[in-house]
Chain A
Amino acid sequence: MLYREAGQFKSTYAEDQQIFPIRQDRIAIAALLVAAFVVVPLIADQYWLSAILTPFLIFSLAALGLNILTGYAGQLSLGTAAFMAVGAFMAYNFVLRMPWLGVIPSFILAGLCAAAVGIVFGLPSLRIKGFYLAVATLACQFFVLWAIQRIGWFTNNSPSGVIAAQKVVILGFAFDTPVRKYLLTLGIVAAMALLAKNLMRSETGRAFMAVRDMDVAAEVIGIRMMHTKLLAFAISSFYCGVAGALYAYTYLGTVEPEAFTLDLSFRILFMVIIGGVGSILGSFMGAAFITLLPIFLSVLFGAISHATGMEPSHAVVSNLELIIFGGMIIFFLIVEPHGLARLWQIAKEKLRLWPFPH
């Protein structure tokens, strides 16, 4: 009844090509943005802002980056955490060594460095495919971490390998409280998500999808394979790099190379798969799911032990959490292999007909 495009006529090409062609979608997105930028900072407490919402946004950005590569361009990658590490440590070095540059340009340069690394490790994708490529990207994961740990320049010769992110000051305004950090993260993530959404609707995005669906056919119709695949790696790594920089600057504060292990790569891949492969919205949904699930589980266990009076040991709880986490992932893959974004799509189609089924 409420969600229906009947009566909304498009009389120009521009109207036909807009991002959200249905008026209700535009209203919903605007409401969401207002809620995220205005309402959330007013009502959320420090814990929610700094421990849940900020990492959720950062992981969304990383998942978005991986989704561009895996979901849109069809290249499986297990090196996401390495690209994030490059972003985090290069941002640190740019801010440290070129303070006159400013934080945002440093983040962008760090993203570009990650993109360069992405291109180098994306080169094998021109020859190899599928799981062979996935394992090959593991080379990137291990090599980059090793290099950051071994080469003192990256960590400014910090003996423990831990770096402390500098204060984020943009045009004299310090982003030092959880609310401000949240807003900075939100601003960057929103802008980059918009960019990604538009990019994937453009010629570039369509080329990615053609390569994903069948690369030989894509080549036959004149899509430059090398250019497209490497561009996908570059854009994806750029997003992951910026996410890594944010991870260091607005979430963790102090970072060690061990924060970017293969586990993180897998988590982000989970977000993409559970959220929906090849969907911008799905990246956000997947990130929300994977970030919230462990918190939800620990709250649940706390409630259970409180209610029953039993006090299970920490090891038991963490193992149970591991089992349930893995089980939920398998369950979700079985129930909805196309991810949460697909569920949302189905819900929208149902809404369109509601309450009259015909």
Chain B
Amino acid sequence: MNVAFFFEVLIGGLLSGVMYSLVALGFVLIYKASGVFNFAQGAMVFFAALTFVSLLERGVNFWVALAITLAAMVVLGIAIEKVVLRPLVNQPPITLFMATIGLTFVLEGLSQLMWGSQPHGLDLGIKDVPMEGLAQATGIFVSQFDLFAAGIAGVLVASLALFFQYTRVGRALRAVADDHQAAQAVGIPLKHIWAIVWAVAGFVALVAGLMWGARNGVQYSLTFIALKALPVLILGGFESVPGAILGGLIIGAAEKLAEVYLGPMVGGGIESWFAYVIALLFLLVRPQGLFGEKIIDRV
């Protein structure tokens, strides 16, 4: 077995895992704060990327397009909270989950109705080519774009951590995540907090949309990356930001390694389910994921 090749696959896997984490983050934020398993996150990613790329193609300046898309995502997040979730407060989680699947349909239809359904390319100015210096020194090929994406993810997580840790709103968000009732009792306005969370999730969706869009093109299949993020989510634990990151790394690496070393043995194409099976096996040992809150049952 070639060691350099092994490391190349491993690093490639870790870096693509970071991309999964980007999507999983959006899920975690919303689940933590409102207990909603937001299946529409994938559609939000698609919506953000498509809006951004369509604006770019109409000749809008990069930063202006970014600002407009961000504003659209914030408005969308607030609208979702007001129209869909507020009337469903206190319903069982599965009802909320189904509502977000309905929302997925609406978002997919809406974004394609507004911008058309043809695929777009998105160029962020970073080439998907190997790092030359690294390739010459060690013989390991690592994509420049993947490193860039990992860097963005790192910045995003760090800024989210700072936001949660040191700002007033962030503290309120954490309080709501811990206990809705107690947070409300000390005077934190739940409705505002949920609107903020959805807006932040919209922002994360925008970042994920840009990264994935630049990598695979902005097209309908972007909505399916939600399915890639789900095993990451259960592996890391629904409530944990570090879990989403670590889960993404584990899933990414394991998936790539399995694809290269295990795939040929069983006929290939295993990436559609392998991540789920890893997550499943892991859950049998730790039912709440890596960093999820321990589930305590009381009668």
State whether A337 touches B277 (Cβ < 8 A): no
Name A92-150 residues within 8 Å CB distance of B. 124, 127-132, 134-136, 138-139, 142-143, 145-146, 149-150
Given contacts A127-B287, A215-B297, A220-B299, A135 and B233 within 8 Å (CB-CB): yes
Which residues of B lie under 8 Å from residue A327 when comparing CB positions? 102, 106
Is A35 part of the binding interface, using a Cβ–Cβ cutoff of 8 Å? no
Which A residue's beta carbon lies closest to that of B284? Answer: A127
State whether B109 touches A322 (Cβ < 8 A): yes
Per the bound structure, the CA–CA distance linking A142 and B280 in Å amounts to 13
Name A226-244 residues within 8 Å CB distance of B. none
Is A300 part of the binding interface, using a Cβ–Cβ cutoff of 8 Å? no
State whether B103 touches A330 (Cβ < 8 A): yes
**Which of B66-74, B194-202, B205-213, B265-273 interfaces with chain A?**
B265-273
* Number of residues from A at the complex interface, CB < 8 A: 47
Given contacts A139-B280, A326-B102, A337-B88, A131 and B109 within 8 Å (CB-CB): no
State whether B227 touches A138 (Cβ < 8 A): yes
Is A266 part of the binding interface, using a Cβ–Cβ cutoff of 8 Å? yes
Which B residue's beta carbon lies closest to that of A143? Answer: B273
Is A216 part of the binding interface, using a Cβ–Cβ cutoff of 8 Å? yes
Is B110 part of the binding interface, using a Cβ–Cβ cutoff of 8 Å? yes
Which residues of B lie under 8 Å from residue A216 when comparing CB positions? 297-299
Q: Chain A nearest CB: distance from B85 CB in Å?
A: 10
State whether B95 touches A333 (Cβ < 8 A): yes
Q: Per DSSP, are chain A's interface residues mostly helix, strand or loop, or mixed?
A: helix
Which B residue's beta carbon lies closest to that of A128? Answer: B287
Given contacts A128-B287, A320-B113, A136 and B276 within 8 Å (CB-CB): yes
State whether B113 touches A138 (Cβ < 8 A): no
State whether A270 touches B273 (Cβ < 8 A): no
State whether B102 touches A146 (Cβ < 8 A): no
Given contacts A330-B103, A334-B88, A132 and B110 within 8 Å (CB-CB): no
State whether B109 touches A76 (Cβ < 8 A): no
Which residues of A lie under 8 Å from residue B107 when comparing CB positions? 326
State whether B272 touches A142 (Cβ < 8 A): yes
Is A321 part of the binding interface, using a Cβ–Cβ cutoff of 8 Å? yes
Per the bound structure, the CA–CA distance linking A128 and B230 in Å amounts to 15
Q: Chain B nearest CB: distance from A232 CB in Å?
A: 16
Per the bound structure, the CA–CA distance linking A270 and B238 in Å amounts to 23
Is A323 part of the binding interface, using a Cβ–Cβ cutoff of 8 Å? yes
Partner of B101, one of A150, A217, A266, A337: A266
Is A329 part of the binding interface, using a Cβ–Cβ cutoff of 8 Å? yes
Query: Can you add 4 more A-B contacts, CB < 8 Å, to A319-B110, A328-B102?
Result: A131-B97, A131-B238, A329-B102, A337-B91
A–B pairs, 26, beta carbons within 8 Å: A70-B94, A124-B284, A130-B93, A132-B234, A135-B234, A139-B273, A142-B276, A145-B272, A146-B269, A150-B269, A216-B298, A216-B299, A266-B101, A270-B101, A319-B109, A319-B117, A322-B105, A322-B112, A323-B106, A323-B110, A326-B101, A326-B104, A326-B109, A329-B102, A333-B95, A334-B84
In order of increasing CB-CB distance, the 4 nearest A-B pairs are: A326-B105, A322-B109, A139-B276, A329-B102
Give me the interface of A with B, judged by CB distance under 8 Å: 70, 76, 124, 127-132, 134-136, 138-139, 142-143, 145-146, 149-150, 214-217, 220, 262, 266, 269-270, 273, 277, 315-316, 319-323, 325-330, 333-334, 337
